[in-house]
Amino acid sequence: MKLFVTGGAGFIGSEFIRQSIAAGDSVVNFDKLTYAGNLDNLVSVADNPRYSLVVGDICKAADVAEAMPEKCDAVVHFAAESHVDRSILSAEEFVLTNVLGTQVMLDVARHRKAGRFLHISTDEVGGDMEEDEWFREESPLEPSSPYAASKTAAEHFVRAAARTFGLETIVTRTSNNYGPFQFPEKLLPLAISNALEDRPIPVYGDGLQIRDWVHVADNCKALRLVLEKGFAGDTYHIGGGDPMTNLEVLHMLLRIVGKPLSLLTTVKDRPGHDRRYAVHFGKITRELGWRPETTFEAGLTQTIEWYQDNAHWVERCKNGDYRSYYETQYSPAGRG
Ligand code: NAD
Ligand code: DAU
């Protein structure tokens, strides 16, 4: 396949690109390289002749159109502002990238006659689930945070492009991904790196919020399957099938790392914090035969080992060195 990927320097997009290059596909990665874009994630494919990088903003239609080849097999749209806490501090970038940027991508994909448009969404668009309630593909969308609201709006534009212009779209909604190369602002990489350095781990509120965790490699296998065999116009949920409270997750993590529970430090809760997500992914299992391969404990153990073995990667995230390529090649000062 010839793929045009947005946001491929991020956590999930880079795993998707590594898998796609290994499978023989060719990939153009269009990425703005925001704080979340990290070219260290793509070192293993950077010199592959089937991989290329274009640094650009999905909100700029002319730049996207120039980068997107005519009639690529699919656009795979990961690019987004992805961190809930940042959206609470300021929602502007979320509206621009997640909503306007998605609409720009849909327009350009249509004009450049892309085969398919795979839109990467999230289980957060469903909002809080009651006890025993499941979030299904046909459930109402009731987002709680500005991030989730922007992802919900984006989904509506995807749906409208399919209905109005006949664009061949597919939407996936995934639960919390975890695994290697995740930026250390999200719960698991933050908790792992703090635990390894004997630093406190912030627990929002009572820590009893429930999340479903899926390994990023399993998620990307599902995305590739949906791309090849999914039905146009459909939505597919993807999850790990192992919902846990944040405290259960953190207790397991500390047990694996061999550090004391006293590292857990209660802090003020996230405003509007969703209590429970419960993504139901029976449809993708039934129709396409996908199910997660990695149990949470095995995946967490492997992820912790990766962070231990890649302390240099974490260090470069924390001290800002991961941005040096961007600074020299693409910042206004560097260009001259
Ligand atoms: P991330 O924050 O790690 O990476 C986002 C990437 O998008 C970065 O490379 C960044 O540089 C790029 N980007 C941001 N704004 C851009 C713009 N205007 N133009 C071009 N590129 C831009 O994100 P992630 O965790 O890999 O998530 C990828 C996608 O999956 C997002 O759409 C997110 O909403 C969705 N998602 C994430 C999770 C999760 O657990 N991480 C779960 C469900 C869905
Ligand atoms: O559910 C899918 C979503 O998962 C994605 O759409 C988002 O892009 C992704 O960021 C993630 O959102 P969450 O808000 O669930 O992830 P986060 O890692 O920020 O938080 C996970 C849970 O842990 C949540 O209940 C808040 C809590 N938390 C988070 C942090 C960063 C803490 O208790 N302490 C923390 O320091």
pLDDT of residue 203 exceeding 70, the answer is yes
Q: Which of 25, 63, 81, 123 is catalytic?
A: 123
pLDDT one-digit tens code per residue, 132-147: 999 999 999 999 999 9
Question: pLDDT tens across 156-177, in order?
Answer: 999 999 999 999 999 999 999 9
- Fold classification of 2-329 is Rossmann fold (3.40.50)
How much is the pLDDT for 242? 84
Catalytic residue among 15, 31, 63, 124: 124
Say how many Å lie between the first and final Cα of the chain, rounded.
36
> What value does the mean pLDDT take over residues 264-272?
97
For the question of residue 123 being annotated catalytic, the response is yes
Q: Which of 4, 5, 11, 157 to mutate to test the pocket of ligand 1 (most atoms within 8 A of CB)?
A: 11
Q: How far is the CA of 255 from the centre of ligand 2 (A)?
A: 21
Percentage of residues of the chain with pLDDT beyond 70: 96
Separation of 309 CA from ligand 2 center, angstroms?
A: 24
Is the distance from the beta carbon of residue 240 to the nearest atom of ligand 1 less than 6 Å?
no
Q: What is the pLDDT of residues 106-161, one digit of tens each?
A: 999 999 999 999 999 999 999 999 999 999 999 999 999 999 999 999 999 999 99
pLDDT at 253 over 50: yes
Instruction: Give the span between the Cα atoms of 303 and 299, in whole angstroms.
Output: 6
Whether 147 lines ligand 1, by a CB cut-off of 6 Å, is no
**pLDDT-derived band of residue 66, with 50, 70 and 90 as boundaries?**
very high
pLDDT score of 336: 28
Residue 81 predicted with pLDDT over 60: yes
State if residue 264 touches ligand 2 by the CB under 6 angstroms criterion.
no
Residue 276: DSSP 8-state? B
* Mode of pairing for the β-strands spanning 51-55 and 244-245: unpaired
- Of 2, 7, 1, 6, the residue nearest 183 (C-alpha): 7
* Residue 236 to residue 255: CA distance in whole angstroms: 34
> Residue 330's pLDDT band (boundaries 50, 70, 90)?
low
DSSP 152: H
* Nearest ligand to the C-alpha atom of residue 123: 2
Q: Which amino acid is at 247?
A: L
What per-residue confidence (pLDDT) applies to 324? 79
Instruction: Give the per-residue pLDDT at 279.
Output: 98
Gap from CA of 127 to ligand 2 centroid (Å): 13
| Helix H or strand E encompassing 53 | strand 51-55
| pLDDT value of position 335 | 38
Q: How far is the CA of 186 from the centre of ligand 2 (A)?
A: 6
Q: Is 204 a catalytic residue?
A: no
User: Rounded to an integer, what distance in angstroms lies between the CA atom of residue 9 and that of residue 40?
Assistant: 8
Q: Please name the amino acid found at residue 219.
A: N
Distance 10 CA to ligand 1 centre (A): 6
Q: What is the mean pLDDT of residues 201-216?
A: 98
Among protein residues, the one with the nearest Cα to ligand 2's atom 4 is 176
Selecting among 15, 40, 128, 147, the annotated active-site residue is 147
Instruction: Bin 265: left if φ > 0, else alpha if -120 < ψ < 50, else beta.
Output: beta
Q: Tell me, yes or no, if 40 is annotated catalytic.
A: no
Q: What is the pLDDT of residues 284-314, one digit of tens each?
A: 999 999 999 999 999 999 999 999 999 999 9
pTM over 0.75: yes
Give the ligand whose atoms come closest to the C-alpha of residue 220. 1
**pLDDT value for 323:** 86
In this predicted structure, what is the pLDDT of residue 334?
43
Residue 79 has pLDDT above 70, yes or no: yes
Mean pLDDT of 240-267: 97
Q: Which residue's CA is the closest to the ligand 2 atom numbered 7?
A: 82
As to burial, measured by CB atoms within 10 angstroms (0-12 exposed, 13-18 middle, 19+ buried), residue 136 is: middle
